[in-house]
Structure 1
Amino acid sequence: MRIKKTGQALTVLLLLFAFGCSGAQQTVSPVASQSPASNTNTDAAGEAGDTAVQETSGTVDDLLVVANPTAAVVLVNKQYSLPEGYEPQDLVYPDVAFTFTEKIDKRMLRKEAADALEQLFAGASGDGIQLAGVSGYRSYDRQKTLFDNYVKKDGEEAARMYSAFPGTSEHQTGLAIDVTGADGKCAAEDCFAGTPEAGWLADHAWEYGYIIRYPEGKDSLTGYKYEPWHIRYVGKELAKELNEREITLDEYYNAVPVSEKR
């Protein structure tokens, strides 16, 4: 009997050990199945942090080439360039007033930005502000022509303060547009600052997913002088965050002061 009891006890202990090991395996297996890539999506840049990371795919002419040119939150500036030959595939004509009537390239924007622009213009109109588009999408070739002309007129150093080097223009993304008042006065000119239209944009553009891309007093960070007429679509979530924190897109990506770049 003593030997039988000892054998039964040993059997129980072995069973308990087996179930215990099985339980331990069930506990750790979910952890092992987690993917380390779950936090690497930068298209929703910086949702949980103070700054975001701009993914790049290489360099050209000492500029970093962005890897996500189609993302609404993409950073394009004097440090980051669009890929060679980039052209948005979803350009449309927004149903808003422009300072001209022709259906040409600079009247177009990417679909998401165009839809948001229509809402922005409607919101402004509801507040008694009448806006008009001046210049939206701009191809690489068109930007090169403009930049070269500005360099001939004012010299390269001065031109770089108000015109983008080809491949680094926000207009090429199809997400940026210059706007003015319905009368067309002060279109893309310094006199636009201080107008009711400029004031409305500064106060309300973010509500529609747009930001004043080159705000006053930030030229050492953006590399461009104050342009109250130049608005850039980044989506409502990011526009709200940038507005609340009073920072530029460059600061959001913790980019180096672009005045040191092109």
Structure 2
Amino acid sequence: MRYGWVATALGTAVAAGVITVFAGQAVTRVSGSAQPAHISSAAGHPDRPCPVDGTYQDKDPSGMKPAAITAWLDVTRIAAGEGVTLCLHDGKRDAEQQRAEFEDYVRKYGAEVAATYVLPPERSMHVQGTAADVQPRASAQWLEQSRGKYGWCRRYDNEFWHFEYDPSYATGGCPARQPHA
């Protein structure tokens, strides 16, 4: 990879807590104007609307594992080169947030239905820092068509937006999708 040393250095700095990054040019196109890549303070950036579909958010990937952050930044840059904007609608969640979401779904829909859309914290790849909910749909389809080439694979039939990162996907392809979480 041409920029491998940059990604490695950036990943190391993120892991060390020296800086927090968020996806630059690929996800910061607002009203047709491109903004340069950014390095933010440790506080990260506030959630902002997805530039290609404001009904979704574009969130800071900084809570994800360093390798997943690097892979996310790489794939957003590649996608942008093909005219596709990937928005990170949801990435890292802490266990408390995941538990609250799971319990909310249980209250609203019952345990059986909840378990098909939201996993408890101990089973969630969002909590592990290796999951990304990609929006809008056309962007998620672009990523899915890469078939793991960039380390990201769609994991569930019922969630077109949910991708998980594993470096082995880049060489071995995506595992078979599961019907639901």
TM over 0.5: yes
CA deviations 1:159-210 (Å, max 9, x no partner) are 11101023111101111111113xxxxxxxxxx3xxx323211112612111
The corresponding residue for 1:178 is 133
1:160 to 115, 118, 121: 115
Instruction: Trace 1:193-212 onto structure 2 (pairs within 5 A).
Output: 196-204=138-146, 206-212=148-154
Inter-partner Cα distance in structure 2 for 1:177 and 1:208:
13
Secondary structure at the residue paired with 2:155? strand
2:67 to 102, 112, 117: 112
- Which sections of structure 1, spanning at least 5 residues, go unmatched? 1-88, 182-191, 217-225, 251-257
RMSD value over aligned CA atoms? 3.2
Higher Rg of the two aligned structures: 1
- 1:207/1:122 Cα in 2 relative to 1: closer, same or farther (>3 Å)? same
The corresponding residue for 1:240 is 171
Inter-partner Cα distance in structure 1 for 2:60 and 2:101:
14
1:122 to 65, 73, 77: 77
Report the AA paired with residue 124 of structure 2.
Answer: S
Secondary structure at the residue paired with 1:227? coil
User: Is 1:106–1:138's contact at 8 Å kept on the other side of the alignment?
Assistant: no
Inter-partner Cα distance in structure 1 for 2:170 and 2:132:
15
What is the identity percentage for the equivalent residue pairs of Structure 1 and Structure 2?
A: 27
Report the AA paired with residue 169 of structure 2.
Answer: L
Secondary structure at the residue paired with 1:206? coil
Give the TM-score normalised by the residue count of structure 2.
0.64
- 1:156/1:109 Cα in 2 relative to 1: closer, same or farther (>3 Å)? same
User: Is 2:91–2:126's contact at 8 Å kept on the other side of the alignment?
Assistant: yes
The corresponding residue for 2:22 is 94
The corresponding residue for 2:155 is 213
Inter-partner Cα distance in structure 2 for 1:90 and 1:227:
33
Give the TM-score normalised by the residue count of structure 1.
0.46
- 1:107/1:153 Cα in 2 relative to 1: closer, same or farther (>3 Å)? farther
- Which sections of structure 2, spanning at least 5 residues, go unmatched? 1-14, 29-45, 49-56
